[in-house]
Structure 1
Amino acid sequence: MLMPGVIDTHVHFRDPGLTEKGDIETESRAAVAGGVTSYVDMPNTRPATVSRKAVDDKIKRASEVSAANFGFFIGATNDNITELLAADYSQVAGVKLFLGSSTGNMLVDDNSTLTRLFAESPALIAVHAEDEAIIRTSRDRLLDECGGTIPVERHPDVRPREACIEATRRAIGLARRTGAHLHICHISTADELEMIKKAKAEGVSVTAETCPQYLLFDRNDFDRLGARIKCNPAIKEASDRIALLRELLPGGCIDTIATDHAPHLLRQKEGDALTAASGMPMVQFSLRAMLELLDTAPRLESIGPERIVELMSHNPARLLGIDRRGFIREGYYADLVLLDPVDPSVRPVKITDSDMAGRCGWTPLAGMCLSHNIRLTMVNGATAYSDGVFAAPHGQPLRFDAVEKARSQSEA
């Protein structure tokens, strides 16, 4: 089965400053091993990618070592609005905004800055929507309730659904007032889906992303997997997972699937709901896991691989106006993935931690049987990965076109 390569618009490749967990070289290898031919990396590194120079430095680094094509978001802070407005958004994917939740000193909580950013940004604003005040209140209550140590399975209570709902409501309000293109990242609750559907019906420019972890797991899986599935936003209830699966159907409000790939060493995943690191490595197995869902999730029985391609290749390219990628078309870059469907009852393909090509050396999908193998990944018309063997890196910088993006969104 031949598909256009996956475009993962939400990864954390940890470069610079957090490279004990992974870097552009190691994580891009994991990407092509999973059929991901292009990625867009987030700015919460050390130092944070909040200037044009920092973006240029990442582009230079990726040009030297990346196995897949690459792009980068620039991060918003309370005091870098001038830098954001001066960025070249043919080279920068968009603006990443941590709205209401602090990470790497990138919390933007100044109302005048937010209003100006939404009103004047020439690019998509990708938002991590969790309300810090609600999280803080929940954390303090649980610390008292649990005697100072909160079990990891209570992580969905430390970062409760109300935190996501409130921040998403605020983001949609800003987009409604200003006309900005809002992209809400890693949606985890049914309530957010309802708000997004209503906003879209009103003509608000809002798009929605979810991730494989919210489609594969719910809070009951903490008993089995513990901190391996601890991430922010937290994995929620089984009813949320069902609602998210339903919105993958044609006509649903989910526009893209991205991974929020965020590797940590296993020793960093030890601890409780406050001390274990949040995030999981997903880029290598996202495509195979989503194809597996077609066979195992009753609500997806009516769709085929074409819908997964739309959510993971076509729509990401449309979302960011990516030049000549995301489709198998004459004149486009040959970013391709060849899969070998196998019968798991005859030849089960069980994932193990040792299968991980990234630096962290583990996966939350260990033990899962997947019924597709990645046989070949091509990047820019040349082999990047074939049957377990990696070629020399030859990824190229992605190019973004705001005019094309607007046209493609209208057509979609």
Structure 2
Amino acid sequence: MNRILIKNAKIVNEGTIFEGDVLIEDDLIVEIAESISAKSSQCKIIDAEGNYLIPGAIDDQVHFREPGLTYKGDIESESKAAVAGGITSYIEQPNTVPNAVTQEILEEKYKIAADKSYANYSFMMGATNDNLEEVLKTNPKNVAGIKIFLGSSTGNMLVDNEATLEKIFSSTPMLIAVHCEDETTIKNNLEKYKEEFGEDVPVTVHHLIRSEEACYISSSKAIALAKKTGARLHIFHLSTAKEMDLFTNKIPLEDKKITAEVCVHHLWFTNDDYATKGNLIKWNPAVKTANDRKVLWEALLDDRIDVIATDHAPHTLEEKKLPYLKAPSGGPLVQHAVVAMFEAHHQGKISIEKIVEKMCHNPAKIFKIEKRGFIKEGYYADLVIINSGLPWSVKKENILAKCGWSPFEGFTFKSRITHTFVNGQLVYTAFKVKDIRAGKRLLFDR
């Protein structure tokens, strides 16, 4: 039996922080108490020395690039970066190559992850204009949900047929997650800036091309359709102040049929950073203004926004160095997301309890993930120890994403993850990922 006793931790769970011990047996948490004795010489003891113990973060939106785009990243490399960053479970998106738009292709991804993933995994089923029959075959017990691109981001998965959209929304009982940007608005904006700049459009207008209006038109339509059909809707990577008026905090999360997510980069950067970061912070939806960032923070803290995620989407540095119009959108974030939010805590923007709510508890609730996202007896031992006073700098040599770069490169974080457990296995310690592929397929209580 695998027995590990974590002692003297500041345990963060369900809005409280309390000092105590946690006993792990095999893959489960079996006891949580103020003081637990080892009772066996076979029990490995880890003294957390007053550091924080949080549930492993659940990232509900990543692009790990396998199959088909593995020169950018793969399930092995990116899940290693995730566990080093305190993310113990992830939900990966369908715009790999081939797109995961049939049950057969979707299951192939699960087979790859079963062999290679260091973290727990699930994969979204992708919707297109003509695969409704395949979408409806999706098993709600072992697939996270249905993903719809309402704006063409990466890959060729834009769903723009309104009749098809309504059919998907009205006929699937599963959670539908959407990327919301209005394609017509974006195309019109792009033409306007091409007229001004020719082919040498600068990245500094990215947020004006993929504009506030493009986001709002699309997200408001999706919400209207969800209300009309009764669909369970989750909107990914919100980026504008204007969209925050579409969401409510008047009802408990468990009763919400429409939920919202914000990504780390939209909480961290603004359009002013394009001048120094360039294409490294080119994402879709775009990083927008300081006011947008301010209102996103307000909505996160007052619970109009339910989840913090990454939209981790690596590209090679060579691709990112291309001119703006040719450079792809997206960047690596899983290794630095949790410590970035702890940095925001140091800056007085958010409590540690709120970080855990938005990165651990709420993704588990929204997707109805079985026995994860909390520090509870009987739950899987997905746990992270964080020293909030151990500064470290992001450098090329400590970046684990396959692409080898980070928008945080050169930044010194005040907090550092020291231990990550996945299903009771200590997979990250001494600032190294151990060769233990402990990830399991996520299951869903629905």
TM-score class, shorter: over 0.9
Residues 1:217 and 2:258 aligned together? no
Structure 2 residue aligned with 1:325: 372
Give the C-alpha shift of residue 274 in structure 1.
1.3
Q: Which amino acid in 1 is paired with 2:411?
A: M
Q: How does 1:196-235 map to 2 (within 5 A)?
A: 196-197=247-248, 205-235=257-287
Residues 1:354 and 2:405 aligned together? no
Residues 1:101 and 2:163 aligned together? no
Contact 1:213–1:235 (CA<8 Å) still a contact in 2?
yes
2:297 match: secondary structure: helix
Structure 1 residue aligned with 2:54: 3
Q: Give the Cα–Cα distance (whole angstroms) in 1 for the partners of residues 153 and 342 of structure 2.
A: 34
Structure 2 residue aligned with 1:70: 121
Structure 2 residue aligned with 1:369: 412
Q: Give the Cα–Cα distance (whole angstroms) in 1 for the partners of residues 210 and 397 of structure 2.
A: 31
Q: Which amino acid in 2 is paired with 1:359?
A: K
Q: Give the Cα–Cα distance (whole angstroms) in 1 for the partners of residues 286 and 127 of structure 2.
A: 23
Q: How does 1:43-58 map to 2 (within 5 A)?
A: 43-58=94-109
Residues 1:110 and 2:161 aligned together? yes
Structure 1 residue aligned with 2:238: 187
Q: Give the Cα–Cα distance (whole angstroms) in 2 for the partners of residues 376 and 233 of structure 1.
A: 33
Q: Give the Cα–Cα distance (whole angstroms) in 1 for the partners of residues 371 and 424 of structure 2.
A: 13
Q: How does 1:238-257 map to 2 (within 5 A)?
A: 238-249=290-301, 251-257=302-308
Residues 1:394 and 2:446 aligned together? no
Contact 2:249–2:304 (CA<8 Å) still a contact in 1?
no
Contact 2:199–2:325 (CA<8 Å) still a contact in 1?
no
Contact 2:149–2:159 (CA<8 Å) still a contact in 1?
yes
Contact 1:176–1:204 (CA<8 Å) still a contact in 2?
no
Give the C-alpha shift of residue 363 in structure 1.
0.4
Contact 2:382–2:423 (CA<8 Å) still a contact in 1?
yes
Q: Give the Cα–Cα distance (whole angstroms) in 1 for the partners of residues 256 and 351 of structure 2.
A: 29
Q: Give the Cα–Cα distance (whole angstroms) in 2 for the partners of residues 180 and 264 of structure 1.
A: 33
Residues 1:274 and 2:318 aligned together? no
The alpha-carbon distance between structure 1 residues 120 and 357, as it changes in their structure 2 partners (threshold 3 A), is: same
CA displacement, residues 190-209 of structure 1 (integer Å, 9 cap, x when unaligned): 111111239979x8721000
Return the TM-score normalized by structure 2. Answer: 0.86
CA displacement, residues 334-353 of structure 1 (integer Å, 9 cap, x when unaligned): 0000111216xxxx422123
Give the C-alpha shift of residue 388 in structure 1.
2.2
Q: Give the Cα–Cα distance (whole angstroms) in 2 for the partners of residues 305 and 92 of structure 1.
A: 30
Q: Give the Cα–Cα distance (whole angstroms) in 1 for the partners of residues 109 and 194 of structure 2.
A: 39
Q: Give the Cα–Cα distance (whole angstroms) in 2 for the partners of residues 102 and 5 of structure 1.
A: 29
Contact 1:175–1:204 (CA<8 Å) still a contact in 2?
no
1:133 corresponds to which of 171, 184, 188: 184
1:148 corresponds to which of 199, 202, 212: 199
Contact 2:210–2:286 (CA<8 Å) still a contact in 1?
yes
1:247 match: secondary structure: helix
Give the C-alpha shift of residue 230 in structure 1.
0.5
Structure 1 residue aligned with 2:139: 88
Structure 2 residue aligned with 1:407: none
Q: Give the Cα–Cα distance (whole angstroms) in 2 for the partners of residues 331 and 200 of structure 1.
A: 28
Q: Give the Cα–Cα distance (whole angstroms) in 1 for the partners of residues 273 and 214 of structure 2.
A: 21
**Can you give the 5+ residue segments of structure 1 that lack an aligned partner in the other structure?**
403-412
Q: Give the Cα–Cα distance (whole angstroms) in 2 for the partners of residues 72 and 222 of structure 1.
A: 32
Q: How does 1:254-333 map to 2 (within 5 A)?
A: 254-296=305-347, 298=348, 300=349, 303-333=350-380
Taking only the aligned residue pairs, the percentage that are identical comes to: 47
Contact 2:153–2:284 (CA<8 Å) still a contact in 1?
no
**Can you give the 5+ residue segments of structure 2 that lack an aligned partner in the other structure?**
1-51
1:248 match: secondary structure: helix
Q: Give the Cα–Cα distance (whole angstroms) in 2 for the partners of residues 198 and 304 of structure 1.
A: 18
Give the C-alpha shift of residue 153 in structure 1.
1.4
Higher-Rg member (1/2): 2
1:108 match: secondary structure: coil
2:234 match: secondary structure: strand
Contact 1:188–1:234 (CA<8 Å) still a contact in 2?
yes
CA displacement, residues 183-237 of structure 1 (integer Å, 9 cap, x when unaligned): 0100000111111239979x87210000000000000011111111000000000
Count of residues paired in the alignment: 392
Q: Give the Cα–Cα distance (whole angstroms) in 2 for the partners of residues 113 and 218 of structure 1.
A: 35
Return the TM-score normalized by structure 1. Answer: 0.92
Give the C-alpha shift of residue 141 in structure 1.
0.7
Q: Give the Cα–Cα distance (whole angstroms) in 1 for the partners of residues 326 and 276 of structure 2.
A: 19
- Identify the structure with the greater helix proportion: 1
Give the C-alpha shift of residue 103 in structure 1.
3.7
